[in-house]
Structure 1
Amino acid sequence: MTHVDDLAGELDRLLAAADAKLAARYPGDRGVRQPVHTVYVPADRYDAGTVGDWGSQARAALGDAPAGLTEALDLSADLGAELYERVRAKLEREPIEDLRIDFEDGYGTRPDEQEDAAAVDAARALAKTVKAGSATPYHGLRIKSLEAPSRRRGLRTLDLFVRELADADAITDGFVITQPKVTSVEQVEAMVVVLSTIERAYDLTAGSLPFEIQVETPQAILGPDGTALIARMISAGAGRVTGLHYGTYDYSASLGVAAAYQSMDHPVADHAKDVMQLAAAGTGVFVSDGSTNVLPVGDRDAVHAAWRLHFGLIRRSLARGIYQGWDMHPAQLPTRYAATYLFYREGLDTAGARLRAYVTGGNSGYLDEPATAAALAGYVLRGLECGAVDPAEVDKLIGVDTAGLAKLARRPVRS
């Protein structure tokens, strides 16, 4: 076997550079929970009570009994009652998983002194919730684009916001910045320069300011030379990029889709998200779907119609392997959690049986390989993290605890 050992050693030398690049570019799961949604709130409407207010409004929309949700979503009485109780508990415990204070489209263009004041006030309010322990697990802001017309305003708002948080010692591991309307790899590189500069200015740990790339321009999907740019953008982020967020309406409008047909399930949206998923695979970067602008407001029929649309779009995203989306109104939270919880609960028994057989060497009727077992474990783990599944259920079905499940899912343990 000496010749095999010699050959393997030669290959180790030949492939060393390629091995190093693969490990650096595709590190795998980051070992952190992905939120099921991101809620965007215009900066001038945000204060320290916003999350509680959204929870109260969402519970009011859900109602005091399961009947409204059950009827709107055409669920059986038993299933509707079960989902209702879980959703209501979630809305009381953690109505928002990821909050973005918006200084871009949701806020608009204001006089500089007005946006300056809004940036300071919003940052102070966020810091207050961090100190009180009431902040959402993930939170941050969306600045204006680094395109030339809005560049200085976006940078000024970001600097003011981070300064306030730094002064209050309120920058957490859940803090993230959204970079919108990205049109070039160079803009991502510029964002890295910006964040590095701000970290030095306020004596923050290098790399402590991560960001998401908002994919809402055709230039982000296809560069002027005909190449896909998303993967290059992730690499240009120098380890700071945590997510790719699809922008439903800007992207659709840029491709000439008529307003009535702009939606998360339009073919142009699917193409963009397919590219995003491919670019993000193996990198540890999360992919998020966009939003629907059909809000559950008005009379009962209008609310139920909007709920059915939202519910269906979320279910579609989940089936396509996109586990996060945007919510823009408190009354969208009931269907966000109803759709998400149903997705994880309806497949729990089968996933549990397959994982138990995989762990114990039993027979589930499936020949599951390690990659499939990891996907099954990841599915159950996501259900646990958002509250769709209880630890006791996992222990009973699979016979492993959360740490064991994470190991099966190939999720690294964070120290």
Structure 2
Amino acid sequence: MFQTSLSPEALRGALSRLRSGHSAFDRAGARGAAAARQPVHTVYGGAHLFKADTARKLGAVALAALAEHAPDFAAFARALGLPGVDELPEGRAEAAALAAALDAGEAPAGPASAPARLAHAVHARVLDKLGREPVEDLRIDFEDGYGVRPGHEEDAHAAAAAREVALGMAAGGLPPFLGIRVKPLGEACAERSLRTLDIFFTALVAASGGALPPAFAVTLPKVVAPEQVSALADALDALERALGLPGGAIRIELMVETPASLFGPRGEIALPGLVEAARGRCVAAHFGAYDYTASCDVTAAHQHLAHPACDFARHVMQVALAGSGLWLSDGASNILPVAPHRARPGGAPLTPQQMDDNRRAVVGAWRLKYGHVRRALESGYYQGWDLHPAELPARYAAVYAFFLEGVDATAERLRSFIERAARATVAGTVFDDAATGQGLLNFFLRAVSAGAMTEGEAAERTGLAPDELRDRSFQAIVARRSA
């Protein structure tokens, strides 16, 4: 026996404090593992352009760009630089024959097998997504994508956009997530911003009979002080009361695009205070790369998502909001897949050189977008901005390839971790790497949420039952298996 100096009574206070701290941490972790679907992107478009069928039209433009510049799965894989593209056929007839074989479940032998299966699966999922649900989250923009207009014009556009939202609700044509971005609540724009907010919601409630689209959000840009967030929350409180809406029905998203959004005047992390100022309404923080880098005095030629200043800001966002359950979103790519030459109705057709210029411009922007999305996913950012419909093929391809490339190895590791953890529990020993097991499980939860695979496909790959996947908890799965 070893002698000690402290009695159980002497330790009771310290242990009680630890238990309360652990409980608070566990509650935060539970919020961070919320089961709600997070959209993989947010598409921003000027409010003056929004219509009830905007999402469908954006999908049509994306499909047209895909058909013109990457007409088969092998061409699309080469455009994006997917793994093993050198093994894929270059002729359209050969690509069509290989696609038919893959559709029939006849995978080719040799080095082309894995690249062909991946490229074909990504292409098929992208086509399906663009035809079925091309936009997951759309923001009706009254800020940068709209500009400064006369007051009467913005009034009219706010009311018109609201009526289009009501039409889209009635027709079932809206994306799963929707919202508006107002102007900043700085001195120059605050009254204009809140007037637009009032007109929009008043017109929407009148046109829809008192209903809002689910998960409707107001995005607040260029936040520099918690008072701006509080003012928006106050305005939404008043609107909900005046319009007979449930309290808290309208959500808030914060844009992190100034250093003051990250750090307060004394160097403290500002983001938690901004979230608190929203009084429970805040659901997401979106990074604005170009305003942020400009605020850091980065010159225009070097403002891009991969700049070290952006990496720093995104990581601060992750650390500051870890366990909060808030969604984090990356910003937009700075080069859009827009063809420089356009044929005019009744004019001369494009020359071969012009068509090649168009293809190079679009494919170059696709590859840049693909790289930005992959980089964000690898850093733990599962959502980002899209500003042009032709970006959508690259966005979805990057998301699907990210999950499909690693699915076999990750599934094997997850099965092994569950088996080892269950054995340790039965034997009364400690499995000390549960965090890695949860990370492996999160890979499949994210893959299902992002549409890279169905719940059934994830269950088949991992050997888990659908109910176990829905638990969303590695420890709960282990406990169930151990019992």
Q: TM-score, normalised by structure 1?
A: 0.91
Over 3 Å counting, the alpha-carbon distance change for 1:176 and 1:88 in structure 2 is same
Q: How does 1:57-68 map to 2 (within 5 A)?
A: 57-63=61-67, 64-68=71-75
Deviation by residue 1:274-302 (Cα, 9 ceiling, x = unmatched): 11111111000011000012011121011
| Whole-angstrom CA distance in 2 between matches of 1:208 and 1:83 | 37
The answer to whether the aligner puts 1:82 opposite 2:111 as a matched pair is no
Q: Which of 240, 255, 268 is the matching residue for 1:199?
A: 240
Deviation at residue 152 of structure 1 after TM alignment: 0.7
Q: Which of 340, 344, 347 is the matching residue for 2:399?
A: 340
- The runs of at least 4 aligned residues of structure 1 exceeding 6 Å deviation read 23-26
Q: Which of 166, 174, 196 is the matching residue for 1:157?
A: 196
Number of equivalent positions? 407
Judge conservation of contact 2:230–2:277 (CA < 8 Å) in 1.
yes
| Whole-angstrom CA distance in 1 between matches of 2:220 and 2:335 | 24
The answer to whether the aligner puts 1:269 opposite 2:273 as a matched pair is no
The answer to whether the aligner puts 1:189 opposite 2:248 as a matched pair is no
The answer to whether the aligner puts 1:70 opposite 2:77 as a matched pair is yes
Deviation at residue 74 of structure 1 after TM alignment: 2.5
Question: Which secondary structure does the structure 1 equivalent of 2:44 belong to?
Answer: strand
The answer to whether the aligner puts 1:369 opposite 2:369 as a matched pair is no
Q: Which of 179, 184, 191 is the matching residue for 2:220?
A: 179
| Whole-angstrom CA distance in 2 between matches of 1:142 and 1:120 | 14
Q: Which of 37, 41, 57 is the matching residue for 2:45?
A: 41
| Whole-angstrom CA distance in 1 between matches of 2:43 and 2:466 | 27
Q: Which of 148, 169, 178 is the matching residue for 1:130?
A: 169
Q: Which of 448, 456, 462 is the matching residue for 1:398?
A: 462
Deviation by residue 1:348-400 (Cα, 9 ceiling, x = unmatched): 1122122222334489xxx8822222222222112112221133322222222
Question: Which secondary structure does the structure 2 equivalent of 1:339 belong to?
Answer: helix
Judge conservation of contact 1:373–1:408 (CA < 8 Å) in 2.
no
Question: Which secondary structure does the structure 2 equivalent of 1:147 belong to?
Answer: coil
Match of 1:32 in 2: 36
Deviation by residue 1:41-84 (Cα, 9 ceiling, x = unmatched): 10011101211110001011111422431221233331322211
Judge conservation of contact 2:73–2:119 (CA < 8 Å) in 1.
yes
Match of 2:352 in 1: none
Give the fraction of aligned pairs with identical amino acids, expressed as a percent.
41
Question: Which secondary structure does the structure 2 equivalent of 1:130 belong to?
Answer: helix
Deviation at residue 7 of structure 1 after TM alignment: 6.2
Match of 1:254 in 2: 295
Question: Which secondary structure does the structure 2 equivalent of 1:148 belong to?
Answer: coil
| Whole-angstrom CA distance in 1 between matches of 2:195 and 2:474 | 40
Match of 2:285 in 1: 244
The answer to whether the aligner puts 1:104 opposite 2:108 as a matched pair is no
Match of 2:471 in 1: 407
Q: Which of 261, 264, 281 is the matching residue for 1:223?
A: 264
Match of 1:214 in 2: 255
| Whole-angstrom CA distance in 1 between matches of 2:77 and 2:55 | 26
| Whole-angstrom CA distance in 2 between matches of 1:23 and 1:392 | 29
Judge conservation of contact 1:40–1:100 (CA < 8 Å) in 2.
yes
Gaps of 5+ in 2: 1-5, 89-115, 340-357, 423-430, 477-483
Larger radius of gyration: 2
Judge conservation of contact 2:220–2:253 (CA < 8 Å) in 1.
yes
Give, as a single letter, the amino acid of the residue that structure 2 aligns with 1:324: Q
Over 3 Å counting, the alpha-carbon distance change for 1:20 and 1:401 in structure 2 is closer
Deviation at residue 96 of structure 1 after TM alignment: 0.6
Judge conservation of contact 1:218–1:254 (CA < 8 Å) in 2.
yes
Deviation at residue 34 of structure 1 after TM alignment: 0.8
| Whole-angstrom CA distance in 2 between matches of 1:372 and 1:345 | 19
The answer to whether the aligner puts 1:234 opposite 2:272 as a matched pair is no
Question: Which secondary structure does the structure 1 equivalent of 2:211 belong to?
Answer: coil
| Whole-angstrom CA distance in 2 between matches of 1:25 and 1:162 | 33
Match of 2:99 in 1: none
Further displaced range: 265-274 or 165-174? 165-174
Over 3 Å counting, the alpha-carbon distance change for 1:336 and 1:221 in structure 2 is same
Match of 1:354 in 2: 413
Question: Which secondary structure does the structure 2 equivalent of 1:92 belong to?
Answer: helix
Match of 1:54 in 2: 58
Judge conservation of contact 1:215–1:247 (CA < 8 Å) in 2.
yes
Match of 1:311 in 2: 370
Match of 2:428 in 1: none
Judge conservation of contact 1:51–1:95 (CA < 8 Å) in 2.
yes
Task: Give the root-mean-square deviation of aligned CA atoms.
Answer: 2.4
Over 3 Å counting, the alpha-carbon distance change for 1:391 and 1:25 in structure 2 is closer
| Whole-angstrom CA distance in 2 between matches of 1:52 and 1:400 | 36
Q: TM-score, normalised by structure 2?
A: 0.79
Give, as a single letter, the amino acid of the residue that structure 1 aligns with 2:76: L
Deviation at residue 198 of structure 1 after TM alignment: 1.3
| Whole-angstrom CA distance in 1 between matches of 2:234 and 2:18 | 32
